[in-house]
Amino acid sequence: MRIASPSKLRRRPRVRSTLGARAVWPILLVLGCFFELEPLAELPGVGGVGGAAGSFSGAAGDGGLGGGGKAGAGGTSGGPECGPDQKLCQGGELAGQCRSNTAVEFGCGDSLCRPCNVPANTIVGCNVDSRSCEVQRCAPGFADCDGDVINDVGEIAGNGCEYSFGTIQVAATTIDVPFASITLEDGGERGDWGAIPAYALKAPCQDCLDSSLPEATAPNSIPVPRDLDAYFRVAWDRDFFYVLGEAFDNSLFENGQSVQDGRCQTGAPCEDGFTVFLDGRNDRQTQPSFRSDDIRVFLAASGKTFRPEQAPLGTGEVTSLGVPIGGAELCYRVEAKFDWQFIAATQGAQPVDAIFPPENGQQYGFDFSVNDWDPVVSSPDVFERQSQLFWLSPGTNYNHNTSGFGAMKLVGAP
């Protein structure tokens, strides 16, 4: 089970130090005193309480909750007794009043009871150890790709979760593929995807094994979004089927060839990236085993591609680009196109009934997944395959049996 605590995150562009608060808190409990979180006064940018250091409320040994002693720097002696998980506000509009020290609207443990700053598209809560404000995650569908808030504890400042994964849609078993004018000639920009909806990759594949991959260390769990949060889009035109995958991944790994495993020699299957599944002839209920029209292709964050256990990809069959997003190595995008003749397993543009050439209403088997390789906790330089999340769970033996794939339907062509 992976919980991406801040200490696990490899890149922490702007972690603000609250070590003072973290270290002092348990000591205070041992002493049986209740200090009004004066350690916060040491934080840069938190002004106005500098004179409060060393003051406290409540007498030692009284459970730490009394208000009978000095109430703090504000001199609010004789203030009310505050209950458990409360603090006596030391200044501002709430001076002398008790407020929760686990409430964002009162700044968690902030002795002045000022609300936590909540940057755009962030979910802010109270750190259970330090009682400081902390960014706990991004709002659904957003990511902190420039890494300026995702690890913030204490003072929270930045542009928030500035990156939108787009308009998120949900599809039960069949996804509509809109006709669109997409190009890879723009270097992986996504402006050409316009308002095409995105779909979340949130489904684990229970007890699934893919013999072309090292076994996932957390195969049946869904990582928290600050560990992995990924989405995809699809589109088509007369020549190609297009996919766009985008992910927030707290630790980007693009060097799969460094993994000591024979299945990783090409790199692509053993790197952060996506896997596209296609049943080109849409015949998976009668022909569930992988044949030439059944496509499983890794699209690595680096742009590398690989088709396991079948003929290597030919020139032009799949073209893929991998680009970083946001400059903090926390997000990446893969844009790729699949030749329709490759999908339909036809040559010389020979028509295939209801499959090729592509037309509105035609259906194909389809699924999409994201692969996450992150550092081993005990060995930060060693990466392991931790999880794979799907649009739809394709079922056990998905590398041998295509019958669990979902479907996609072409729409929107003029």
Stretch that binds Ca ion, among 87-95, 155-163, 167-175, 231-239 (CB under 5 A): 155-163
Instruction: Please identify, using beta-carbon distances, which residue of 79 and 245 lies nearer to Ca ion.
Output: 245
The nearer residue to Ca ion, 156 or 228, going by C-beta atoms, is 228
Q: Using CB under 5 A, which residues numbered 126 to 145 contact Ca ion? A: 144
What is the DSSP code (8-state) at residue 26? H
* Member of 36, 110, 293, 329 binding Ca ion (CB under 5 A): 293
Helix (H, G, I), strand (E, B) or coil at 281: coil
CB 387 within 8 A of CB 372: yes
155 vs 372 by CB, closer to Ca ion: 372
Instruction: Name residue, tokens 């997409």.
Output: 182
Nearest residue (CB) to Ca ion, 293 versus 367? 293
CA-closest candidate to residue 37, choices 117, 78, 80, 91: 91
The answer to whether 294 contacts Ca ion (rule: CB under 5 A) is yes
Q: How far is the CB of 113 from Ca ion (least distance, A)?
A: 27
Q: Both tokens of residue 70?
A: 């000095």
- Per CB under 5 A, which region of 86-94, 130-138, 248-256, 305-313 contacts Ca ion? 248-256
The residues, ordered by sequence, that sit 6+ positions from 396 with a Cβ below 8 Å of its Cβ are 205, 206, 207, 208, 209
Using the rule CB under 5 A, is 254 a contact of Ca ion?
Answer: no
Nearest to Ca ion of 111, 387 (CB atom): 387
Chain positions 260 to 289 lying near Ca ion, rule: CB under 5 A, are 272, 279, 281, 283
C-alpha to C-alpha distance for 96 and 87, rounded to whole angstroms = 10
Among 36, 110, 155, 162, binds Ca ion (CB under 5 A): 162
* Whole-number Å distance between alpha carbons of 245 and 322: 9
Rounded to a whole number of angstroms, the minimum distance from the CB of residue 162 to Ca ion is 4
Q: Using CB under 5 A as the criterion, what x/- string covers residues 204-233 for binding Ca ion?
A: -----------------------xx-----
Q: Could you say whether residue 346 binds Ca ion (CB under 5 A)?
A: no
Instruction: Please state, as a whole number, how many other Cβ atoms lie within 10 Å of the Cβ of residue 218.
Output: 18
CB proximity list for 252: less than 8 A, separation 6 or greater: 272, 301, 324, 329, 330, 332
Distance CA 4, CA 165 (A): 21
**Residue 247 three-state SS:** strand
Contact residues: Ca ion, CB under 5 A = 144, 146, 148, 159, 162, 227-228, 249-251, 253, 272, 279, 281, 283, 293-294, 372-374
